[in-house]
C-alpha cells in the first residue's frame, strides 16, 4: 500500500522523509521518491525498489530543501518503474498520492489535448497538471487545489508542495487516511501516525472530504464545501504500537472506515486499471480444465466463499462446493485428481481451515489461499497465495478483511470466467469498471452514520432479529446476522428470503425486526414478495436498498439507502450497512465491541 509523508522543517528534510517512509514499509511498496523545495525550486529524487536505493541516490545527488514530501508506491496505474514513482510534478507543483483517481482517463485526455506533457502512466500525474493549469491561469495554490479537487473522483489522499512557497504544504483526504503531526515550528503529514512517531506525538486525523493548508505556524482545515473545520489534536501512542485507533472510538470503527482504501489497494493489486482487465499472478492451474472448485473457510471468511460460489457459478460457469472448514475436514470427500481447492482466512492460522487445506493436499488438489497475514501457516502451505491487502485487522469482528476477501475472489472469478471463455473483453471491462467504483460507493455509505445510530435504539430492544436476502445478498444476510450476534449479543439469524415461508415466518410478529438486503437487481421483485409476507404479519421492516421504499408497497419502518451499483459488486457494497448496523447497535448497548466476550481473533484450536 502506498505511504505518504511530508515535512515543513527547520533544517534539511530529505533524510527525515526517508526515515518516515521506513516506518511505512510494513504497507508494502515497490518504488519510492522524495521532493523538496530548494531556493524556491522543486528538486526530486526517485528510485525503483527498496528505500535503500533512494538513500543511495540521495547520497550522490542530495536534496537540501527544508520542506518536502515523500512516498512509497505500490504500483496501481503503470509498472513499478522510476518514471511512475511519486512525487509527480511540473515546474510548479509536486504531488504524492495514495488511492485511485477513477476518472483519470477523461482528465488526461483533456489535458493532453491542451498540450500538457505527461511523463508517466500514473493516474496521479493528472493532479499535477490540473493544479498547474489553475496556477498558470493566475490562481494561488490554495485556490488551484480547491478547484482541482472538485474534478477528482475516487478515493485518495494527497500531499503537495509548490514552487516559490517554502512555507506551504496542502493535503487532502477523500477515502484514504491522512494524519497531520504538530511540531514546534515544524509540521508533518503521514499516511498514519506510525510514520510521524519519531517527530511528534501530537496528531490530528483528517476526515473524508477534508483538505488542509499547512504552514510551519499551523494548519487551516476545510471540509468538502470549503468551510473551515477543527479536527481534534490528540496524543498518539503510535511510537509504542504497530497500529492505533486514530480518531475512532474502536478498532472496528476504524477498520470499517478503512474499507474504501484497503479495497482500493487490493483491487489495484489484482487489476490492470489502465486497461480494465484482471491481472492475477501465475496460477498453478488452468481454469478452463477445472471441473469443480472447492472452497472452505470459517465464520465470516466462509461467507466470503459463499458469495464467491455465486460469482464462480454465474460468471465463470464453474461448479463450486462451498463448505464450513470444520465440516469439510471430516467429510472424507473424494476429490478428482488435479482439482482445485481454495481456502480463505484473515489470520491464515485457523485450525479447521488449515486441516481442510492439508486434507486437500493429500488428495492432490491444487491449493490456493486468500489470506491477510502473508507469513501465516495457510499461506506457507499453499501452492499460490492471493493476499488481501487489508493491513492488520485488530477488531475481533472481521470487517475490512471480509470485503478484501470478496475483492480478491471477485477478481479470481473474472479470471476464471475469462479462461473458460464465458467472459469476453467487453464483459471483463464492464465488471472491472464496476469493481473500480466500489471504494467510492463505500465512501458514500460511510459518510452518514446517523440512520444506523437511530436504528440501534430500536434494534437493541429486540428479542430476535432476522436478516433476509436472495442471490449474493443471502450470504450478506448471514454475515449481517453473525456480526450482530457476535458484538451485540442479540439473537439474529440470516435466511434466504425464499425460505421464509418454510419455517422462519413463524417467528414474525410486531416485535421482530426483519432486515431485508434487497438491491434493485433481477431478484428484487421476488424479495419484495417476501417482504410483503413479513409486513402482513406486522414484522418491522428495515430495508437496505437502492430502491424507493414506496415501490415495495410495504410499510418500511427504516430505510438504509445504498448507492445503485452493478449487480456483480452488490455484496461488496452491501457488506458495509450490515457492519454498521451491528457496530452501532453494539455501541448503543455498551458491549466490548473490539473484544466481544468469548471470541478470539485467531482460532487455532478446533
Ligand atoms: C467474525 C469473524 C470470524 C472469522 C473466523 C475465521 O467476525 O471474524 O468468524 O471470520 O474465525 O477466521 P480467519 O479468517 O482468521 O480464518
The tens digit of pLDDT for each residue in 139-191 reads 999 999 999 999 999 878 999 999 999 999 999 998 677 889 999 999 999 98
% of the chain with per-residue pLDDT over 70: 96
| Per-position b or e across 120-156, b if 16+ CB within 10 A of its CB | bbbbbbbbbbbbbbbbeeebebeebbbebbeebebbb
Q: What's the pLDDT at 600?
A: 65
| Dist CA 210 CA 135 (whole Å) | 21
Q: Positive or negative CA dihedral for 574, 578, 581, 587?
A: negative
Confidence of residue 469 (pLDDT cuts 50, 70, 90): very high
State the pLDDT confidence band at 598, using cuts at 50, 70 and 90: confident
Query: Does the structure show a pLDDT above 70 at 432?
Result: yes
> Residue 320 C-alpha to ligand 1 middle, in angstroms?
21
State the distance from the centre of ligand 1 to the C-alpha of 301, rounded, in angstroms.
6
Per-residue pLDDT band at 239 (split at 50, 70, 90): low
- 375: buried, middle or exposed (CB in 10 Å: 19+, 13-18, 0-12)? exposed
CA proximity to 258, closest of 1, 24, 559: 1
Q: Which of 50, 139, 433, 601 is catalytic?
A: 601
> What is the Å distance from ligand 1's center to 586 Cα?
18
Q: Over range 498-516, report the average pLDDT.
A: 93
**Residue 215's pLDDT band (cuts 50, 70, 90):** very high
Return the pLDDT at 571.
98
pLDDT at residue 605, rounded to an integer: 52
Q: From the CA of 300, give the closest atom in ligand 1.
A: 10
**pLDDT given for residue 26 in this prediction:** 57
* pLDDT of res. 50: 84
Q: Which atom belonging to ligand 1 lies closest to the Cα atom of 402?
A: 10
What's the pLDDT score for residue 116? 94
345 pLDDT more than 90? yes
- 166: phi then psi, degrees, rounded to nearest 5: -70, -25
Q: Is pLDDT larger for residue 284 or for residue 248?
A: 248
Average pLDDT (367-390) is: 90
Average pLDDT value for residue range 496-507: 93
Residue 148 Cα to ligand 1 middle (Å): 41
Q: How confident is the model at residue 594 (pLDDT cuts 50, 70, 90)?
A: confident
- 485 catalytic residue (yes or no): no
| 483 given a catalytic annotation | no
Q: Look at residues 314, 184, 209, 189 and name the one whose alpha carbon lies nearest to residue 260.
A: 209
- 73 pLDDT more than 50: yes
Q: How far is ligand 1, taken at its centre, from the CA of residue 118, in Å?
A: 45
Q: What is the pLDDT of residue 27?
A: 59
Enumerate residues lining ligand 1, CB below 6 A: 298-301, 345-347, 350, 353, 397-398, 482, 486, 602-603
Please enumerate in sequence order all residues whose Cβ is within 8 A of that of 387, keeping only pairs 6 or more positions apart, or say none. 269, 370, 371, 372, 374, 379, 408
Give the pLDDT confidence score for residue 126 in this predicted structure: 97
Answer whether 447's CB lies under 8 Å from 504's CB: no
- Give the per-residue pLDDT at 604: 44
Residue located nearest, by CA, to atom 16 of ligand 1? 345
Q: Give the number of the atom of ligand 1 that is nearest the alpha carbon of residue 301.
A: 10
Helix (H) or strand (E) holding 309: helix 299-315
Q: Contact, 294 vs 365, CB < 8 A?
A: yes
Residue identifier of the C-alpha nearest atom 5 of ligand 1: 299
pLDDT reading at 241 higher than 50: no
Q: Do 160 and 131 meet the contact criterion of CB atoms below 8 Å apart?
A: yes
- Work out which ligand 1 atom sits closest to the CA atom of 603: 11
Check residue 347 and give its pLDDT. 87
Q: Is 244 helix (H, G, I), strand (E, B) or coil?
A: coil
Alpha-helix runs per DSSP H in 363-501: 377-380, 400-419, 425-436, 438-446, 450-459, 473-488
Bridge partners (DSSP) of residue 173 are 157
Question: What pLDDT does residue 601 have?
Answer: 62
- Per-residue model confidence (pLDDT) at position 360: 96
Q: Whose CA is nearest to atom 10 of ligand 1?
A: 300
> What is the mean predicted confidence (pLDDT) over 12-16?
96
- Residue 294's nearest CA partner among 347, 366, 222, 362 is 366
Q: Is the pLDDT of residue 192 over 90?
A: no
**345/351: higher pLDDT:** 345
The residue whose CB lies within 8 Å of the most ligand 1 atoms, and thus the one to mutate among 378, 385, 398, 486, is 398
φ, ψ for residue 472, nearest 5 deg = -65, -10
DSSP 334: -
Q: What residues contact 265, with CB distance under 8 A and at least 6 apart?
A: 1, 2, 74, 389
Q: Nearest to residue 413, comparing CAs of 473, 472, 496, 328?
A: 472
How many angstroms is it from 303 CA to the middle of ligand 1? 10
Choose the catalytic residue: 2, 305, 360, 404. 2
Q: What atom in ligand 1 is closest to the CA of residue 405? A: 14
From 251, 298, 345, 476, mutation site for ligand 1 pocket: most ligand atoms within 8 A of C-beta: 298
- What phi and psi values does residue 54 have, to the nearest 5 degrees? -65, -40
Mean pLDDT, to the nearest integer, of 93-99?
A: 93
Contact (Cβ atoms closer than 8 angstroms) between residue 312 and residue 293: yes
**d(Cα 334, Cα 269) in Å, to the nearest integer?**
34
On the question of pLDDT at 307 being above 60, the answer is yes
Higher-confidence residue of 174 and 93: namely 93
Residue 107 has pLDDT above 50, yes or no: yes
Distance (angstroms) between ligand 1 centre and the Cα of 348 equals 10
Amino acid at each position: 500500500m502506498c505511504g505518504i509523508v511530508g515535512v515543513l522543517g527547520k533544517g534539511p528534510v530529505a533524510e527525515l522523509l526517508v526515515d518516515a517512509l521506513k516506518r511505512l514499509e510494513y504497507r508494502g511498496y515497490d518504488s519510492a521518491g522524495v521532493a523538496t523545495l530548494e531556493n524556491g525550486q522543486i528538486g526530486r529524487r526517485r528510485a525503483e525498489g527498496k528505500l535503500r536505493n533512494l538513500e543511495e541516490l540521495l547520497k550522490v545527488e542530495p536534496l537540501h530543501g527544508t520542506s518536502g514530501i515523500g512516498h512509497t508506491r505500490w504500483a496501481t496505474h503503470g509498472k513499478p518503474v522510476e518514471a511512475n514513482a511519486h512525487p509527480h510534478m511540473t515546474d510548479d507543483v509536486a504531488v504524492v498520492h495514495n488511492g485511485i483517481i477513477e476518472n483519470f482517463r477523461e482528465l488526461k485526455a483533456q489535458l493532453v489535448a491542451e498540450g500538457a506533457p505527461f511523463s508517466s502512466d500514473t493516474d496521479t500525474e493528472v493532479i499535477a497538471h490540473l493544479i498547474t493549469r489553475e496556477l498558470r491561469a493566475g490562481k494561488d495554490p490554495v485556490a488551484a487545489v480547491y478547484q482541482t479537487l472538485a474534478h477528482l473522483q475516487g478515493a485518495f489522499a494527497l500531499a503537495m508542495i509548490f514552487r516559490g512557497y517554502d512555507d506551504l504544504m496542502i493535503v487532502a483526504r477523500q477515502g484514504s487516511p491522512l494524519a497531520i503531526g504538530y511540531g514546534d515550528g515544524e509540521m508533518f503529514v503521514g499516511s498514519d501516525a506510525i510514520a510521524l512517531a519519531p517527530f511528534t506525538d501530537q496528531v490530528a486525523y483528517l476526515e473524508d472530504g477534508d483538505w488542509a493548508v499547512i504552514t510551519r505556524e499551523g494548519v487551516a482545515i476545510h471540509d468538502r464545501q470549503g468551510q473551515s473545520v477543527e479536527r481534534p489534536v490528540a496524543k498518539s501512542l503510535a511510537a509504542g504500537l504497530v497500529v492505533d485507533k486514530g480518531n475512532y472510538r474502536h478498532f472496528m470503527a476504524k477498520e470499517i472506515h478503512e474499507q474504501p482504501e484497503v479495497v482500493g489497494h487490493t483491487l489495484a493489486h489484482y487489476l490492470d486499471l489502465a486497461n480494465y482487465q484482471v491481472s492475477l499472478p501465475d496460477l498453478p492451474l488452468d481454469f478452463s480444465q477445472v471441473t469443480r472448485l472447492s472452497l472452505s473457510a470459517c465464520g465470516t471468511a466462509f461467507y466470503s466463499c459463499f458469495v464467491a460460489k455465486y460469482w464462480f457459478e454465474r460468471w465463470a460457469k464453474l461448479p463450486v462446493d462451498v463448505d464450513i472448514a470444520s465440516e469439510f475436514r471430516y467429510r472424507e470427500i473424494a476429490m478428482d485428481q488435479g482439482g482445485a481447492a481454495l481456502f480463505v482466512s484473515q489470520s491464515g492460522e485457523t485450525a479447521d481451515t488449515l486441516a481442510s487445506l492439508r486434507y486437500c493436499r493429500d488428495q492432490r488438489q491444487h491449493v490456493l489461499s486468500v489470506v491477510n497475514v502473508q507469513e501465516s501457516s495457510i499461506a506457507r502451505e499453499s501452492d499460490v497465495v492471493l493476499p488481501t491487502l487489508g493491513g492488520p485487522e485488530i477488531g475481533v469482528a472481521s470487517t475490512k478483511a471480509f470485503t478484501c476477501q470478496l475483492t480478491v475472489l471477485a477478481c479470481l472469478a473474472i479470471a476464471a470466467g475469462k479462461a473458460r471463455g464465458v467472459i469476453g473483453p467487453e464483459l471483463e471491462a464492464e465488471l472491472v469498471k464496476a469493481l473500480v467504483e466500489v471504494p467510492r460507493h463505500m465512501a458514500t455509505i460511510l459518510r452518514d452514520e446517523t440512520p444506523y445510530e437511530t436504528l440501534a435504539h430500536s434494534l437493541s430492544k429486540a428479542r430476535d432479529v432476522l436478516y433476509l436476502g436472495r442471490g449474493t445478498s443471502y450470504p450478506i444476510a448471514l454475515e449481517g446476522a453473525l456480526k450482530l450476534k457476535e458484538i451485540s449479543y442479540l439473537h439474529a439469524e440470516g435466511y434466504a428470503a425464499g425460505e421464509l415461508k418454510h419455517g422462519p415466518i413463524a417467528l414474525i410478529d410486531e416485535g421482530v425486526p426483519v432486515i431485508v438486503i434487497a438491491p434493485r437487481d433481477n431478484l428484487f421483485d421476488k424479495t419484495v414478495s417476501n417482504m410483503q409476507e413479513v409486513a402482513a404479519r406486522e414484522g418491522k421492516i428495515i430495508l437496505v436498498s437502492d430502491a424507493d421504499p414506496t415501490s415495495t408497497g410495504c410499510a418500511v419502518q427504516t430505510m438504509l439507502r445504498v448507492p445503485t451499483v452493478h449487480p456483480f459488486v452488490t455484496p461488496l457494497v452491501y457488506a458495509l450497512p450490515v457492519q454498521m448496523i451491528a457496530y452501532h447497535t453494539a455501541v448503543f448497548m455498551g458491549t466490548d465491541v473490539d473484544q466481544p466476550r468469548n471470541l478470539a481473533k485467531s482460532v487455532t484450536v478446533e
